[in-house]
Each structure stands twice: as C-alpha cells, then as structure tokens.
Amino acid sequence: LSGVSDRIEAIIAAIEEGDVDASIRELEEQHQALAQDMGVDLDATIGAELIELRNQVQGASLIGEVTPRLHAHLMSLGERMSTKLGAAHLRTLGLDAEWVDARAHLQSVHNPSVPIDRQMLSAECDFAADPAVQAQFEQTTGVVVTQGFIAQNPNGETVLLGRGGSDTSAAYFAAKLQAVRCEIWTDVPGMFTADPRQTPTARVLRSLDYDEAQEIATMGAKVLHPRANPPCKAAGIPIVVRCTPRPELEG
C-alpha cells in the first residue's frame, strides 16, 4: 500500500504538463494488481474513488491548473483508496475490520491570517479530548482502519496535514480518544543520538521526555514529526516508536 500518495503527486504534476491519461492508467493497473494479490474486488472496494479521481484529474487538465483545494482532495483519495483496500484485505483474513473516514473526526483550526495554500495543505487540528468521538469508537467491535494525513475544515472541505501528517493524525486521534499510548510504526526502532546512516556508532535513545523529543524532531530528525508531540504531551500520553521491519525490537 505504500507509495500511493507519491503516485497521486505524479498525476498532479502531469496535469500541468497536459498528459494525465498514462499516469491514471498506471495507477489503475497498479491498484488492480494489488487488489488481485489481496483477494479483494477492486470495483466494489474503490471503484467509485478511481472514477472520481479520473474525472477530477481530466477536468483539471483542461485548464492546466491544480488549486490547493483540488490538490488536497486528490491526495485524500490516495489515503482513502489504500485504507479501503487494507480494511477489505483484513476482512479476507478473518478480522473484523471497520473502515473509518478520518475527516469525520479530525477538524482543522481556521485561521484567516494563514494563506489558503497552508490552510488546505498544511493544516493543524484541534486535539482536545472529545467525548463524542470516544463514544463512537467505543461502539466499534473490531479493528478500526482509518487514514493519516487528512482532515476536514469547518466548511467541510478536505485538508492535508503536511509532511509527516500520518504521525500527526495518530497523535490527534490519541489525544481525542484519551488513549493509553500512541504507537508510531516506522522504518527505525526509535530516535537516535545521531543519524545512524551517517554515524554508525549512533545509539537508540530508550527514553525521552516530550521536550527532548520535540527538540530532536524540530532539528530535523525524520522519526517523529514535530506536530505529533504537542497533542500527546498535552494529554500525558506516551509515544512509542516501533520498527515495522523489526517488530521484535523494543523501540
């Protein structure tokens, strides 16, 4: 499922070049192959989203422009398609998986002084504890599959949370739900004393307080986005970084 957002970005770039058909066909073929491997019916699962993507992209290609609103909406389709396929695949494995639209629970904070492109493509959300969201999630009986990276503004429009938005989404949900902890699964087992790709002797930091983690993230460490820290800090929720390729590591 990885790389869907990158493919959507490539299609957005192709709009301004006036050649979108090939990019759309490639994305459709990749999703078809993925659905077959997963044992999932493509049309029943994400057929509507693929049609919506093609229609919106072809319309935008006629004028050769992608507005911030359209950019956010197109990128959200990538998240929605990948998570719908993921939830459907989990159900084929016998799990009770429920797909939930993150935009129904995460709302961005409106700030009229912020430029429209930042409002749409790098939004920030309210993360106060939300009893209504907690009640809705308590009614679910199985695994909840939702999206990172996307939210909704007060006008009901789709917005993006910027780079690292999936980490931030996890933190927003954790704070709203008053979760016991927030796990971030990534390609490394935690924050290091230095970049391990540059410094072989770098070691994993087993424990950090929120301010230390914020400083390291702000200085450019890619393990945890700086926006993911404040929601969990405010709610006193521990953040645990785990390694997807090495799940046996403590993190």
Taking only the tens place, the pLDDT of each residue in 193-225 is 888 888 889 888 889 999 999 988 888 777 888
Please name which of 49, 58, 63, 64 lies closest in space to residue 158, comparing C-alpha atoms.
49
Look-up: residue for tokens 């770098």?
A: 202
What's the pLDDT tens digit per position in 9-68? 888 888 867 678 888 888 899 899 999 999 999 999 999 999 999 999 988 888 888 899
Sequence-ordered list of residues with C-beta below 8 angstroms from that of 27, at least 6 positions apart, any chain: 7, 8, 11, 53
Owner of token pair 């301004």: 16
- pTM beyond 0.85: yes
On whether the CB atoms of residues 175 and 232 are closer than 8 A, the answer is yes
Query: How many CB atoms within 10 Å of residue 101?
Result: 16
